Structure 1
Amino acid sequence: MKTREFGPESAVDRGRVAVVTGADSNYFWLLEGAVESLRSAKERYGFELVVLDFGLTDEEKAVLHDVHDAKVVTAPWIVDVPEHHKTRRNLAFGARCTLPDLLPGIDVFLWFDSDGWVQDDVFYERYIEAAWEGRLAIVREEEEAYPFDWPLMRWNLGNQILGFGLFLGTRVYLSPAINNGFFAAKADHPVWKCWRRRFESAVRRSGKIIMDQHSLKAAIALDRIPTTYLGGELNWICSRGRPVYDPVRKCFCLPYPPYTKIAVMHLAGHDKDCRRQLICVDGGNYETALTYRQRTAPPTRSVAEPLPVPSTSHPLN
């Protein structure tokens, strides 16, 4: 019988579900926004919130525990990689493929990057439903609003060849692009063993620790693990495709009709806190940050006020 270490079973999910995230002190300001945005879903679904400590201070860990009701876990190195890679911060790359070992007794894991935040609690149902069906739930990093990015493609191909060799690396590269900032799987899913084996091998072969996403992609492509690809609104990468704003629904949306509400905003990449010019679906532009705590809505217009002419530089035009 499994030992309960985090809390009671969730009646909604037929077992124990943990939403797991992690950060160091440099990302704490984003981490707080992420866990705040999860509060509504946590109250609704009763999952357990776990934060992996990649270099947090005692004060930050106390805030997570006392204010946000999160269990903070200082994870050990489990994967077999060269010793010089085994820093606390590098656990951000090495810990995700070992979640069932780090957190025994959990039935389903949902990884949630600390630079993301929830706009619609439906994200939880979509990820967890696929996981309970015995599949890895993940989002493809392939969207019509994401422009062609040659430097990113070259970086991916180069690392995948370094990590897996010319033939297998090319096969991995040609498989569907993924983003492992958000994913869900049962504790007994084959992804964990396949991912860990591919990660350890890729790190030793390439000499790079940043092989976590590449090795998960290799596990999907080469080991053919059961996978469900979810829609882009469940992990929208704002640096690759700027969202639009719907002032009626008061939410950020996909930048093409029918302007689906984005469930998870992901601030992957650089300039996470910079302000951006967005377009509204009813016309006009406004400037806002996209972080959970700094985001703003556009100024309210009078009904009689004519709509501004949208910027011709935006992909909606």
Structure 2
Amino acid sequence: MKDRAIISLADSKYFELLNELIDSILSFEESKSVSICILDAGLQLDQIKILEKKVYKIVKAKWDIEVPEYKIKGREWLKSQVSRAFLPEYFPGFKKYLWIDADAWVNDWSSVELYFKGSDNKTLSISSSADRAYGRVLRADWIFSNIAFIRSQNYKHSKSSGFSNKICREVALKPHLNIGVFCLENDAPHWLVWQTNLKQALKKGRIFGSEQIAMNISVYCNQMKVQILPTYCNWFLIENIKFDEIKNTFVEPYLPHHKIGIIHLAGKKYDEFRFDKNKLLDVQSLNNNWIKKNIRFTK
């Protein structure tokens, strides 16, 4: 067993994406320095047999925090919103835990190393959804020409999860941290603080997104140490990605066109790509050519 683990979770519906994530990790020679661990949230037996040949360990995910059945409605994959806050308990013995959502894949190993490096000294390593290429990060509902209600993802989720007005206001205008990819050391204090905030979020709020707002509150209100990495480490605005035809890789749309580290197909608007391997994306190259590319990982 190595001292660094990369962990993900999937049910049978997300098996292909999970399998591609694993293949993308294994495509790098540097992957020999990590152990790949999987949380099973409803995988089929034949799928598990395929994965067992590629990964270090597969463990059945559970509801680590009790959630009412009416919130679950048979969606066992929602365990990912809870289980990731308990990774050292599922896979003990590692020094560092890097979580990557199943609908993401590794395009450049240097971003993986940044996540591991950023978690040194009991620090959360994570990226945000605020980026020069992403455009609007807040929403304003204009009442009059100079008066508006400001809305943000952090404010909406903290409010719906029953946190105090003080906390909601404190996180409202902060860069939203995306928990789809993050890294923590096994003894970082974040785990317990995150779990406490997650329990609070699950009491009133929806399951989906609960772990994300709980971590944002842990960082911005509980003052947990954080390294906020560049957005190319967890890129999820697929429609404005560009392609370097010379280097044969996806890059940021603006100079210096840094290579995208992890491509993340997060959000319902990317369902067609998540569930259709043959769906192609129209991408502008750095040579200003429009080309069709598969945004999924391919060997």
Shift of 1:103: 1.5
**2:284 is the alignment partner of 1:247:** no
Gap change, CA 1:70 and 1:42, over 3 Å in 2: farther
CA distance in 1, matches of 2:71, 2:82: 9
CA distance in 1, matches of 2:152, 2:114: 32
**Greater shift after overlay, 87-96 or 40-49?**
40-49
Q: Is the 8 A contact 1:64 1:71 kept in 2?
A: no
- Aligned residue in 1 for 2:210: 211
CA distance in 1, matches of 2:137, 2:228: 21
CA distance in 2, matches of 1:20, 1:123: 15
Unaligned runs of 5+ in 1: 1-6, 10-15, 295-317
**Greater shift after overlay, 169-178 or 30-39?**
169-178
- Aligned residue in 2 for 1:78: 64
Gap change, CA 1:261 and 1:103, over 3 Å in 2: same
Gap change, CA 1:151 and 1:32, over 3 Å in 2: farther
Q: Is the 8 A contact 1:140 1:176 kept in 2?
A: yes
- Aligned residue in 1 for 2:265: 267
- Aligned residue in 1 for 2:295: 290
CA distance in 1, matches of 2:35, 2:169: 39
The letter for the 2-side match of 1:228 is Q
Within 5 Å, which residues of 2 pair with 1:1-317?
7=1, 9=2, 16-41=3-28, 43-66=30-53, 68-82=54-68, 84-85=70-71, 88-148=76-136, 154=152, 156-163=154-161, 164-206=163-205, 208-239=207-238, 242-270=240-268, 271-272=270-271, 273=273, 274-293=279-298
Aligned residues: 279
**Greater shift after overlay, 79-88 or 113-122?**
79-88
Q: Is the 8 A contact 2:130 2:137 kept in 1?
A: no
CA distance in 1, matches of 2:42, 2:264: 22
Shift of 1:258: 1.1
RMSD (CA atoms): 2.1
Scaled by the length of structure 1, the TM-score of the pair is 0.82
Counting aligned pairs with the same residue, the percent is 25
Which segments of structure 1 move beyond 6 Å, counting only runs of 4 or more?
Answer: none
More strand by share: 2
**Greater shift after overlay, 114-123 or 285-294?**
285-294
Q: SS in structure 1 opposite 2:99?
A: strand
CA distance in 2, matches of 1:147, 1:209: 24
**Greater shift after overlay, 40-49 or 257-266?**
40-49
Q: Comparing both chains, which one has the higher relative contact order based on Cα–Cα distances under 8 Å and sequence gaps of 6 or more? A: 2
**Greater shift after overlay, 122-131 or 76-85?**
76-85
Q: SS in structure 1 opposite 2:247?
A: coil
Deviations 1:219-260 (A, max 9, x none): 111111010011111111134x52100011110000001111
Q: Is the 8 A contact 2:251 2:258 kept in 1?
A: yes
Shift of 1:83: 5.2
- Aligned residue in 1 for 2:146: none
Q: Is the 8 A contact 2:177 2:216 kept in 1?
A: yes
Scaled by the length of structure 2, the TM-score of the pair is 0.86
Shift of 1:22: 0.7
Shift of 1:150: 5.8
The letter for the 2-side match of 1:40 is S
Gap change, CA 1:221 and 1:169, over 3 Å in 2: same
